[in-house]
Amino acid sequence: MAGGHVALFPLPFQGHLSPALQLADALHGRGLAITVLHTTFNALDPAAHPEFGFVAVADGGMPDAKDGIGKILAMNDAMEESGCVRDALAALEPRPSCLVIDTSLPAAQKAATELGMPTVVLHTGSAAAIRLFRSYAMLHDKGYLPAQEHELDKPVKELAPIRVSDLFDPSKYPNPEMANRLLDTATEVTDNSSGVVINTFEALETPELEAIRSELAASGVGVFAIGPLHKLSAIGGAGSSLLEADRSCIEWLDAQAAGSVLYVSFGSVAPVSREDFEEVAWGLANSGRPFLWVVRRGLVIGSGAEDVELPEGFERAAEGRGKVVRWAPQQEVLGHRAVDGFWTHSGWNSTLEGICEGVPMLCRPLFGDQLANGRYVEEVWRTGALLAGKLERGKVAEAIARFMEGDDGAAMRERAKEL
């Protein structure tokens, strides 16, 4: 193409791959040639996107890493040691005008810098979460961190409406040094970039975007809200998913009454305990509401790559009202006339998709930026409610009833449609 050439290197996890490929598609639609660098871990299928060039880089096979942070750091160390990213970039013809990277890929930024190639950071989280993660020095200086049990409900006045319980606390991580290293890396990669693009939109996060722009102005780093990317690209969730969607759920939704179904999905990565899983299951079964529940392989801690076993008697109790699938075409589900509620882990892609489809959210954040996203959904955007505390099937059923039928739920629906 005559319009130029852009290379992208997304982090190889579902929540990062989807917006990166959607950005690539949007740029390609505007006349740019696209090359996607990808790892062998969670490798992309080039045949699914013949319009892009793909180059595999050695990632070291994620050696001896059992968790997400460990995998990311190990991958960077392996790529920097081998020089594979630099070699891959140097071999591209024509030379890309820039490399679009994730904040967790310092090895890629270093390789591009050595070649004199500018880097642009794609932030796949909310502007609110970015602002929060860039504030960890202040949070320690002000005594919010390490978090104390008796202060978890304390407001963080410098980052309203955030509370201490919404903070990712590295001291609670099995390896605090690794967690702090990843936070520091994200800040450094952003500060050393030529620009930052964020998968959000101005009307949703004006104060947060203005705060980030003000902070980065001294470094000459421009900040641009370019989302929602899933609405600007022809690549939907299915086109960028590492998991195969079960489309039988769409036929099932077609047979349900308008505005009757609660859609439940806790994302593609985070696991839940067996105890919580069973309380969710029986809460759904006892709620009396139709529901579509995504139970992917690996959802329950210890289940590995196997199908998760549903509680004995659950399918009989939910017969005629509930459908369980391994994975769903989420954007299509949220846009379906039958769906009127979304129980979510508050990952940013899911949150943004819920907002864009005008579907109110019942939020059960699990870790990281999900905590801040859930807080903003409840207190700033007012399009949902947090489901806090210990999960108990009776309370879960009551919460679903209030959410789907009560006055609070009606107000959330009105606000969601306004947004």
Please give the single-letter amino acid code of residue 218: A
Question: Taking the CA of residue 391 as centre, how many other CA atoms within 13 Å lie in the half-sphere pointing to its CB?
Answer: 20
What is residue 242's predicted lDDT score, i.e. its pLDDT? 67
Is the separation of the CB atoms in 143 and 169 below 8 Å? no
Catalytic residues: 16, 102
Architecture category of domain 5-238 in CATH: 3-Layer(aba) Sandwich (3.40)
From-to residues of CATH 3.40.50.2000 in the chain: 5-238, 243-418
* CA dist., res. 362 & res. 35, Å (int): 38
Q: Which residues sit opposite 225 in a β-bridge?
A: 198
Structure tokens at 358: 């005008």
Residue in 366, 405, 388, 383 with CA at minimum distance from that of residue 287: 405
Is the separation of the CB atoms in 361 and 384 below 8 Å? yes
Question: Taking the CA of residue 257 as centre, how many other CA atoms within 13 Å lie in the half-sphere pointing to its CB?
Answer: 6
What is residue 101's predicted lDDT score, i.e. its pLDDT? 98
* CA dist., res. 42 & res. 44, Å (int): 6
Torsion of CA 371, 373, 374, 379, to 10 degrees: 120
Residue in 102, 122, 298 with CA at minimum distance from that of residue 195: 122
* CA dist., res. 366 & res. 203, Å (int): 26
* CA dist., res. 18 & res. 313, Å (int): 36
pLDDT in tens, the chain (419 residues): 457 999 999 998 888 999 999 999 999 999 999 999 998 887 888 888 999 999 999 876 555 556 778 888 888 999 998 999 999 999 999 999 999 999 999 999 999 999 999 999 999 999 999 999 999 999 999 999 999 999 999 999 999 999 999 999 999 888 889 999 999 999 999 999 999 999 999 999 999 999 999 999 999 999 999 999 999 887 755 455 668 899 999 999 999 999 999 999 998 888 899 999 999 999 999 999 999 999 999 899 988 777 899 999 999 999 999 999 999 999 999 999 999 999 999 999 999 999 999 999 999 999 889 999 999 999 999 999 999 999 999 999 999 998 998 787 788 888 888 87
The CATH homologous superfamily for domain 243-418 is Glycogen Phosphorylase B; (3.40.50.2000)
Is the separation of the CB atoms in 86 and 119 below 8 Å? no
What is residue 237's predicted lDDT score, i.e. its pLDDT? 52
Residue in 15, 19, 12 with CA at minimum distance from that of residue 230: 19
